[in-house]
Structure 1
Amino acid sequence: MSATTRHGAALAGLVLVSALAACGTTHENAPGAASAGGASARACQGTGGKYTIGMSQANLAEPYRVRMNDDIRRAAAGVGRFSVHFADAAQDNAKQVEQVNTFLTQGIDLLIISPNEATPLTAVVQKAYAQGIPVLVLDRKVDGEGYTSFIGADNVDIGRQAGRFFADTLLPHGGKVVELKGLAGSTPAKERSDGFDQGIAGHGITVAGTADADWLRDKGQQQADALLKAHPDAQALFSANDPMAEGARIAAQNAGRADLPITGIDGLPVPEGGIKAVEAGRLSATFVYPTGGAEAIAAAKKLLLDCRQVPKQQTLPTRLVTRADAAQVYTDLNRS
């Protein structure tokens, strides 16, 4: 009998003794499902219960994260049994750890977290999981598997698609690019950059210079200004998100490079988002990066109301958006 099976049997016995319905927090076949004792289930009261959810957000300086919170809030309102408490870590790892510990002290029923950085948030996420609290990790990962489910797009694949767009469309004959990365300790920053390198490999494209701009527009402008001064022969710029890309556009205009091709990632379907920036011609392309907010509440509903398991990993779809289809994509995403 596997560790997961023995664990499930023990839980089943507990259910029979206590006459409570147990709600599984991981997919029984998922790797690491029985690790750290955190796969144990909390009581699932079904549709008759009311639940408190703690949402720990890395920051609210990025429009993407504001939209994520809005998506969670909107989806939770449609359930009726959920009360969601939000906390903003403001890009401070220690503050986010403290906020999660406060949630645990308050006795939340489920934790949703988008970690500022992976390693500093791993221990407190594992702590919640070990207490039997279902933990849904959104967008950015933590180390190990001490959580219930990760919900997010494949950032390596998004970066790879971006690299291929450069190789196939922007620089089909090769050339030099500069790159703006996100917050160094966050998993999407590394994964998107790694994927981009894979996408341009073998196509005569070299990354002449990189800089971390922490996902922020103002810092993106500052860092792009420095990159373009250091590499005036750069023929295009890859940005790991749309706000940094918009900042880079300002820097390019100030450098007399208003026609510099710039791509981003996020593709928020809002007036100030990347899709409209592509439609207006400020960006050459973006890639839709779903927030996972609605999916997180759907997972919470399965765990807490339906007493069902959820997959260890839920990979969300993405797509390339260019000026040719930006208006249609914007309409489609706002219709769904």
Structure 2
Amino acid sequence: MSGILRGGAVLAGLALVSAVTACGTTHENAPGAASGAAPAAKQCHGPSGKYKIGMSQANLAEPYRVRMDDDIRKAAAGVPQFSVSYADAAQDNAKQVEQVNTFLTQGIDLLIISPNEATPLTGVVKKAYDQGIPVLVLDRKVDGDGYTSFIGADNVDIGRQAGKFFAEKLLPHGGKVVELKGLAGSTPAKERSDGFNEGITDRNITVVGSADADWLRDKGQQQADALLKAHPDAQAMFSENDPMAEGARIAAQNAGRADLPIVGIDGLPVPEGGIKAVEAGRLSATFIYPTGGKEAVAAAKKLLIDCQTVPKTQTLPTRLVTRENAAQVYAELNRS
């Protein structure tokens, strides 16, 4: 629509806006929507419909991502109208683009995606969105706002809280820290690091070395080994997820630094997860990072079955886990 409508064209324009709103997507928030450039979305068929959902996962090498898919499966099992297909990009941007394109060819009704990296996946996410397919982005962001809803925790805030934990509990008098970062092109890696630096500002704490370990345990061990050799005076380590932190613990033990404080993020409530690692004393702390799986299915239900809208951003809560509350938090999360 051009912005100046007359006669019957006004009614046609109103009908188009009604169709978009009734479907329950949030295309009205997209760039250009004010001038009517946003595409019409697919129709919501309500409880009598059957819906195909494509779940595009960045990789399944991280326990967090396995748990995310499991959470989606569990929640979707309670919605008989849904059938979900899963794809594992194995940390390959081109493969993930191809897998999303395959979903589009198969005629999915909604896309859930946790992008491997932001910029390479932005185009195909926007392509789906522009075709009127609701797109739910989990955990890792894409560039721009060509999607229906982002669901995830505030990674800057988590990093900031981690920095404050170092400043207030681990190194109250200041000190030297080394940092294990995630995959460089993924938004949580940058946001957690930025937040951490905010949290230690003016606290006489210095990050003397950092390395990318791509969220993986084995690479975390390798990079931590190199960091500790290069900076033997480091007094603590910040790891941007728990698997890298567990790898770093092995490296610290091998370096004769078994007492090195290490803090991670994820806090999965499973026997091999970060909460139990804190309870056992391998990690000094972790932060709960919800997968968003059940929230994504709830959003899909609102969009496809209830014909409602969902917020453009759904921020999930986090929580600090220390040895003092680890058992309690683990029990609470497994009751929910």
Check conservation: 1:236, 1:262, Cα contact below 8 A: yes
C-alpha spacing 1:13/1:288, structure 2 compared with 1 (3 Å): same
Contact in 1 for aligned 2:115/2:140 (Cα 8 Å)? yes
Identify unmatched segments of 5+ residues in structure 1: none
Q: How do 1:62-211 and structure 2 match up within 5 A? A: 62-211=62-211
Once the two structures are TM-superposed, the CA of residue 33 in structure 1 deviates from its matched residue by 7.9
2:235 corresponds to: 235
Once the two structures are superposed, the pairs formed by residues 44-63 of structure 1 within 5 Å of their partners are 44-63=44-63
2:7 maps to what in 1?
none
Aligned to 1:13: 15
Confirm or deny that 1:272 pairs with 2:268: no
Aligned-residue identity in percent = 81
Aligned partners of 2:58 and 2:88 also within 8 Å: yes
Structure 2: state its 5+ residue gaps.
4-9
Q: Deviations over 1:45-86 (max 9, x none)?
A: 000000000000000000000000000000000011100000
Q: Matches of 2:326 and 2:27 in 1, distance apart?
A: 37
> CA offset at residue 42 of structure 1?
1.1
Per-residue deviation, residues 199-224 of structure 1 (Å, max 9, x unmatched): 00000000000000000000000000
Gap change, CA 1:157 and 1:9, over 3 Å in 2: farther
In the alignment, the residues of structure 1 paired with residue 21 and residue 207 of structure 2 have an alpha-carbon distance, to the nearest angstrom, of 55
| Corresponding residue number in structure 2 for 1:34 | 33
**Displacement of 1:10:** 5.6
Question: 1:34 offset after TM fit, Å?
Answer: 2.3
| Structure-1 separation of matches of 2:206 and 2:138 | 32
**Matching of residue 289 in structure 1 with residue 283 in structure 2:** no
Distance change >3 Å, CA 9–CA 208, structure 1 → 2: farther
- The separation in 2 between residues aligned to 1:38 and 1:237, in whole angstroms, is 46
> Alpha carbon RMSD of aligned pairs, Å?
2.2
Contact 2:245 2:264 in 1 (8 A): yes
- Is contact 1:139-1:151 (8 Å) kept? yes
Which secondary structure state, in structure 1, belongs to the residue aligned with residue 196 of structure 2?
helix
Q: Deviation digits for residues 111-152 of structure 1, max 9, x if unmatched? A: 000000000000000000000000000000000000000000
Determine the C-alpha separation between the residues in 1 that align with 2:110 and 2:184.
Answer: 28
Which one-letter code corresponds to 1:251 in the other structure?
A: A
Q: CA contact under 8 A between 2:21 and 2:309: conserved in structure 1?
A: no
Aligned length: 329
Q: Mark the CA change 1:317 to 1:21 in structure 2 (over 3 Å): closer, same or farther.
A: closer
From the superposition, tell whether residues 27 and 134 of structure 1 become closer, same or farther in structure 2 (CA, over 3 Å). Answer: closer
The corresponding residue for 2:256 is 256
Question: What SS does structure 1 have at the residue aligned with 2:137?
Answer: strand
CA distance in 2, matches of 1:324, 1:281: 11
2:215 is aligned to 215
What secondary structure does 2:165 align onto?
helix
Counterparts of 2:274 and 2:290, CA distance in 1? 13
